[in-house]
Chain A
Amino acid sequence: MAGGSSHGFWSQERIVLALAVALFAVAAIFLPGFRDIGNLISIVHSVSVLGLLAVGMAIVIIGRGIDLSAVAIMAMSAAWYLQLLNDGWSEWQALGAAGAGVLVIGLVNGFLVAYAEVPAIFATLATGSFVFGFVRSRLITQDAVPVPPGNWLEQLGGFQPLGIPPEVFIFGGACFVAYLFLRFTKWGRYVYYMGDNLLAARNMGIPVRPMNLLRYVISAFIALAAGLLTASSLHSMNTRIVNSTLLYDIILVVVIGGIGLSGGKGGMRNVIVGAVLIGIMQNAMTIIDIPNLYQNLIKATILLIAIVIDSLVNPRDEQTAQQGDI
């Protein structure tokens, strides 16, 4: 069986979409309050930050990589930004500092992967740990940093055209821009080539090392944006989120949407489908009052099943798999 072609119509993305529709229908019929327009908006709202992070993760994974530092960058960059504001820095200075910090971490990730040739999972595991530890111990003073009163983040949370929260627009906008990038720009196409066969891409003259840097920098900046959105809706940034299962949820969205972990496949449609399914599932589980602990168990089990299916649909290619590619 080679790839999805033998599966005909039922690619993983379509299965997930059908599942989402079915789940939606069942929930709409049996769960009280599910059909409320407010609830539907809150479903999309609840996954928009997750979806935004998944956009960055998808760009990295399509080019055959992974970014395990995404949640640490998201939480710590936003927390540091808020801390700087609370310390009396001006808006632009603080934003500039946070942006520069995020740029550096993205470059370090890319450098470790592209130039030092460290497997992405270890490079980003190490930088994630470092970013959390460094910012928590050196740059901020407490676990949760509040948004200073009157800040634009506070106002952003209140800005709701048509009753739809701004995160939804930003998630949608990010998906659209990423779609344009991946489909219609040269560098976007390179991402697919590199994910398909890194060695072949390198041999045909694609600058694979700078392109790796670019992907991790994009992922880092998306993480910063997601952090600022979280802060605006919660009016603070709690750094304990790094220890939560958010990172696995991001991978869950990407993988369940049908983007193969071996790279070279998938696009923004998969991210949206994956995010919507997770949103419906989480919402339904919350309505029927499943405790958070059990939700984690259920989501992790689904992720495991998704990975098993992924490995059956996209079997590892022993020819292009590299030694130490684990």
Chain B
Amino acid sequence: MGRPFFILLPHGTRMTLRERLQAWRYNYIPDHVIGEILSKRWADNAIPFLALVTVIAVFGTAIPGFFNPFSLLESTRQLGEFAIVVMGLTVVMLAGGIDLSVGSMFALSAFSSVAAFFIFHQPVGVAFLAALATGGLFGAVNGYLIGYMRLRAFLTTLVTLVIGRAIYDILVVNYGSVIQTSTASSDLWDFIGDGDIHGISVPVATAMVIAIIFHIALTRSRPGWHILAVGGSRRSAHNSGIRVRRTVFMSYVVSGLCAGLAGFLIACRLSGAGPGTGLNQEILAITAAVVGGNSLGGGRGSIAKAIMGAIIVLVMNNGLIRLGYGTGTNQMVLGIMLAAAVILDIRWLKNRHKVLNEVYVTPVYHRLGETLSAEPDSGSPYALNNRIANTEYIGLGELEGPEDVVLDRDDNLYCGTRHGEIVRFFAPDYKRSEVFAHTGGFPLGLAIDADGNIISCIGAMGLYSISPKGEVKQLSAETDRSYTSIVDDARLRDPNDLDIAPDGKIYFTDSTTRYDAHDWVIDSIENRATGRLLVYDPATGKTRTLLENYRYTNGVCMAHDGKSVFFAESWACRVHRYWLEGPKAGTAECVITDMPGYPDNINRASDGSYWMAWLGMRTPSFDLALRNPGFRKRMTRRLPQDEWLFPNINTGGVVKFNERGEIIETLGDMTGLSHPMVTSMREHKGYLYVGGILNNRIGRLKLDTSDNSWTGPNSYWGEKP
């Protein structure tokens, strides 16, 4: 599968050194990877990860014995507790809020479990539940005020922070001595405080478990998605039926429970409650969450970021103390880190798409071979004429964007439109029409299967089937994920045309993995070979990739004998044939090269040959631009898109070729008035129906030499039973 990525040079052409260097530079240095990485969500983790490595490296070398296993075991106990608090805070931040009261909840929960254990002599389990209940209750108060009463999160939690702190101080002053003189003890309590599981302390193990649960909940569960949706856009979340207030409420309860759990762990570790517990933890926790890369204002962030941030901040905080820097240094560094991280986050969020626009388009070198002329009267088989200039118009002004057209056994005509509909024109005069189905995407290629269902490649959505009653069903939206691709190439980004084999398998193309369907022209500027030929098997419901690395795979047509399938490679101006049976089964060969036009859909003709549409014509200027990738790169960065040099799509045409790839005839519209850009044509009972993706009509042309009873459905599936 796949072809080697080399420069195809037609025979007899020579390259200058400069051109050869350009070709190597742009075809072998994979700078498109930068754009693909930047478009990934995980790319946001790069800066926090670098900060993490730097902080650990700096303090690891500056502090003797930093990496000593025993020292690591002890120093990570605090990290476990802190990471749990930060994860809770991250959940709140993802939902678009903030929770400053984590330090107070942490302290109060610690006091609750200490009180339950030492004052009331309860078992460890009860102490644990007391801590969770305290944290959960406190969180519920925050959640009620902010979620249901819609108070401002920052100030409300600031005040509950002060209230919690005051209650804690009062409790410690009144009951501190009782706790200190208590004689209660328990092995379990001591194990949670001092023990380890294979060298991992209990707090760290707990934090790991919580991290896994939270990660799965946030990325793969409904409540997690709701939290992200509310943080991403509160109003949209509300409009799509998410219970925004309850989701916000729950996020604070989660934060409270996390602080409660962490409070229980520190209670076990310290076996007491002092005035310093949880003091100033809010600024530590916020800095950790933000430094890790979680966005203020919600919607963007992850548990991995929370953990990275927790490690960075705690290592730095404790490192500065162990290195003996005086009072205040920590606050100073924390202030700088918080400000820097927030600025970075806000600027990055604001400018990310600009950076991405700058670097994403990375043209490659491509040299098309010399072609025969398409000039009228040039005597070449490609010579254009005016034969499709005078067609009968169907649906003039009612249609927008009939990329493909298809006719059923009852002679009714179907086409897709830009508005996501499949429109049916009724035989015999095609004056009357109705919306046959609404797909929600832009229907491109169409075909009719043995049972009369219309199968369509719907742009940016996938392969769909529309029953004769107009019911839309998804057949496939993904293929295999390749291991080397950075962009998600399992998703069908630009499914373009299809045809159906006698056994019912559907062969179709996905034109590019780099751009969405509506950005197909940008793909032509980049000219990178990422197009694929895929097959959908209705028996298994799975889609497989057959061929990849073509420059915009487009039209697909099953050969008349059903043993091979033709497909067009638009930006290379070639047609290939993929063998399904016979000695060459599973391989592809090039049938037509170096055409003067960019091929689009291919369909059967009545005389055993094939019709092929040209969506546009090659021009010397764009051919030259393809040999100068540096020029195209500068063009995309410095000029607005309106002023870019694009392939010429003002003139197209229809070409007829036979099994051996020989050109039989060419039809054109030199006026450019009726059918400038042709993306599809379909023969039916002696007429040719012509469609164009940017046109506002379907053209109907009487063919002189054809069989007046030939229809597509009969050709594919035999006479009606």
Contact = CB atoms under 8 A, between A and B. Distances in A.
Nearest to B333: A133
Main secondary structure of the interface of B (DSSP, over half): helix
Nearest to B350: A117
A119 to B, nearest CB: 6
Interface stretch (B159-167, B439-447, B608-616, B638-646): B159-167
A93 B330 CA distance: 29
B200 interface: no
Interface string A277-291: 000000000000000
B98 interface: yes
A324 B154 CA distance: 11
A80 B160 CA distance: 32
Nearest to A323: B297
Interface stretch (A16-24, A174-182, A294-302): A294-302
Given A127-B339, A293-B170, A307 B151 contact: yes
B342 A122 contact: yes
Contacts of B145: 308
A307 B159 contact: yes
Interface in B210-249: 233, 235
Contact of B335 (A116, A126, A315): A126
A132 B331 contact: yes
Interface stretch (B320-328, B418-426, B497-505, B533-541): B320-328
A303 B173 CA distance: 24
Contact of A112 (B331, B332, B339): B339
B278 interface: no
B155 interface: yes
A55 interface: no
Interface string A140-177: 00010000000000000000000000000000000000
B159 A300 contact: yes
Contacts of A143: 327
A130 B96 contact: no
Interface string A299-314: 0110110011001000
A326 B296 contact: yes
The residue in A116, A129, A303 that gathers the most chain B C-beta atoms within 10 A of its C-beta is A129
Interface string A314-326: 0110100001111
Contacts of A89: none
B332 A308 contact: no
B159 A248 contact: yes
A125 interface: yes
B126 interface: no
A122 B338 CA distance: 8
Contact of A297 (B155, B163, B347): B163
A251 interface: yes
B283 A125 contact: yes
Given A248-B162, A293-B169, A323-B297, A128 B335 contact: yes
A127 to B, nearest CB: 6
Contacts of A129: 283, 331-332, 334-335, 338
Contacts of A261: 152, 155
A253 to B, nearest CB: 14
A134 interface: yes
16 contacts: A116-B343, A118-B343, A122-B339, A130-B334, A130-B339, A136-B331, A136-B332, A138-B332, A251-B155, A294-B170, A300-B159, A300-B162, A307-B159, A308-B149, A308-B151, A324-B295
Interface of B: 96-98, 145, 149-156, 158-160, 162-163, 165-167, 169-170, 173, 233, 235, 280, 283, 286, 290, 295-298, 325-336, 338-339, 342-343, 346-347, 350
Ranked 3 nearest A-B pairs via Cβ: A324-B297, A133-B332, A130-B335
